[in-house]
Copies of this chain bind each other. A is one copy, B any other.
Amino acid sequence: MVQKVTPWEVRGNINYDKLIKEFGVDKIDDSLLERIKRHTGELHFMLRRRIFFAGRDLNWLLDEYEKGNKFFLYTGRSPSGKIHLGHVMPWIFTKWLQDKFKTELWFQFPDEEKFLFKQELSFEEVQNYLHDNMLDVIALGFDPKRTHFLIDTKHAGLMYKEACKVAKKINFSMVKSTFGFTNQTNIGSIFYTSMQAVPAFLPSVLKGKNIPCLIPHAIDQDPHFRLTRDILPKLGYYKPASIQCLFLPPLSGVNGKMSSSKGEEQAIYMTDTPEVVEMKIKKYAFSGGRATLREHREKGGNPDIDVSYQYLRMFFEPNDKKLEEIRQSYLSGELLTGELKSILIDKINRFLKKHQLERKRAEDKVDKFIFK
């Protein structure tokens, strides 16, 4: 299947090296990691393992930081369904950045985007998901004093004006080539990227000075920010820097991106019960194990194509030593698929138990997070 990566569709076997070339982003190298570590004291496992593997202008961002020109973080979530592990992965890293660098975080909820791009989705459905999704973000433990939710339709009084300044610099040809739009694309979708650009400079507008911006995001959103980076200097703002992660794969296999559109059973949702998690992993998580016990014991499993192992590597086992032990044990045939899955199920359920508790508590906190 031919690789296709746009903000609205990820298809085919993802070749990340090809993406790096195609998008023109920089691979994260050891010297950059060293430099980050000088400020953070340690490296998040998602950096060590290159789950966050690419970026733009990260050295510039650190230059500015070292000069005392602190950055803010910008990320977001376009509500259109329930939150699953694939959404949460980059936010966990974003929280780490917020904690380590003590930065402001602007979290955008573009509650018009999926309404505009999905024919069958109503505005009211999106509003329900918006509330639901905010709970999951809050539950992750972001600092309410330094985290500001921007909801496009609610904050349009602040944002639309700024979006128009961006929009004036982008013509139809540009969005056509960037996003593959056609003459049948609706005019709301055509305009939308201007709204996604706004949080990258809104803090600069509000503070009346130019503040560097860092956007942690999954690499499929890069086309938006490529456009944003072209435009912002024309408005007198810095190009936003970005740090980009791999997609957490769906249960069905290590290629592609966990997504609700692949069917509810292909994703693990933040509200899934322990039983559902167990069932999904046991039933659907693609295994790198062998067909028979004997063959597995003889030849060993293949962690590279094993979804359960990949979830441990990308999300649930931060300890490198433990992860390596699991890998070796699986490779050797000692660890069976069922045992590997049990390790993962236990990790996920412990994570979700805490999350679901925090999620209940989040109901009372929503108002504190919405930008005033």
Contacts and interface: CB of A to CB of B under 8 A. Distances in A.
Interface of A: 112, 115-116, 123, 152-161, 163-165, 167-173, 175-176, 181-191, 193-194
Q: How many copies does the complex hold?
A: 2
A312 B28 CA distance: 74
A interface SS class: helix
Contact of A160 (B152, B165, B169, B187): B152
Contact of A156 (B123, B160, B181): B160
- Of A112, A155, A158, A171, chain B has the most CB atoms within 10 Å of the CB of A171
A185 B173 CA distance: 8
Given A171-B186, A172-B185, A161 B191 contact: no
A361 B159 CA distance: 33
Given A156-B157, A164-B153, A181 B191 contact: no
Contacts of A184: 171-173
A156 B191 CA distance: 15
A188 B183 contact: no
Given A164-B188, A173-B184, A187-B194, 11 more contacts: A116-B167, A123-B165, A153-B161, A153-B164, A155-B157, A156-B159, A157-B158, A170-B187, A171-B187, A172-B172, A172-B185
A172 B187 contact: yes
